[in-house]
Amino acid sequence: MKVLVCDKTENEYIEQMRAAGLTVDVRDDITPEELPNVLPAYDGMVVRSRTKVKQALIDVCPNLKVIVRGGVGLDTIDHEYAESKGITVMNTPRASSASVAELAIGYMFALARSIYKATSSLKAEKWDKKSFEGDEIGGKTLGVIGFGNIGKEVASRAKALGMNVIAYDPNAQEAVGIKQVSLDELLNEADYISLHLPKTEVTANMISKDQFAKMKNGVRIINCARGGIVDEDALYEALTNGKVAGAALDVFAEEPPTDWRLLKLDNVIGSPHIGAATKEAQTRIGAEVAEKLISFSKNGK
Instruction: Give yes or no for residue 300 having a pLDDT over 90.
Output: no
Mean pLDDT of the chain: 94
Segment 44-61 mean pLDDT: 94
Instruction: Give yes or no for residue 118 having a pLDDT over 70.
Output: yes
Instruction: Give yes or no for residue 7 having a pLDDT over 80.
Output: yes
Segment 48-73 mean pLDDT: 93
Instruction: Give yes or no for residue 159 having a pLDDT over 90.
Output: yes
Percent of the chain with pLDDT over 90: 90
Separation between Cα atoms, residue 111 and residue 245, nearest integer Å? 9
Separation between Cα atoms, residue 271 and residue 102, nearest integer Å? 14
Please indicate whether residue 19 or residue 76 has the higher confidence score (pLDDT).
Answer: 19
96-111 burial code (b ≥16 CB/10 A, e <16): bbbbbbbbbbebbebb
Segment 125-152 mean pLDDT: 95
Percent of the chain with pLDDT over 70: 98
Active-site residues: which are they? 226, 255, 273
299: confidence class by pLDDT, cuts 50, 70, 90: confident
Lowest mean pLDDT among 128-142, 166-180, 189-203, 284-298: 166-180
pLDDT at 285: 94
71: confidence class by pLDDT, cuts 50, 70, 90: confident
Instruction: Give yes or no for residue 172 having a pLDDT over 70.
Output: no
Segment 36-55 mean pLDDT: 95
Segment 82-91 mean pLDDT: 95
pLDDT at 76: 87
pLDDT at 175: 64
The reported pTM is: 0.89
- Determine the straight-line distance between the first and last CA of the chain, rounded to whole angstroms: 13
pLDDT at 284: 94
Domains of the chain: 2-95+279-299 (3.40.50.720), 97-270 (3.40.50.720)
Segment 230-256 mean pLDDT: 97
177: confidence class by pLDDT, cuts 50, 70, 90: confident
pLDDT at 75: 82
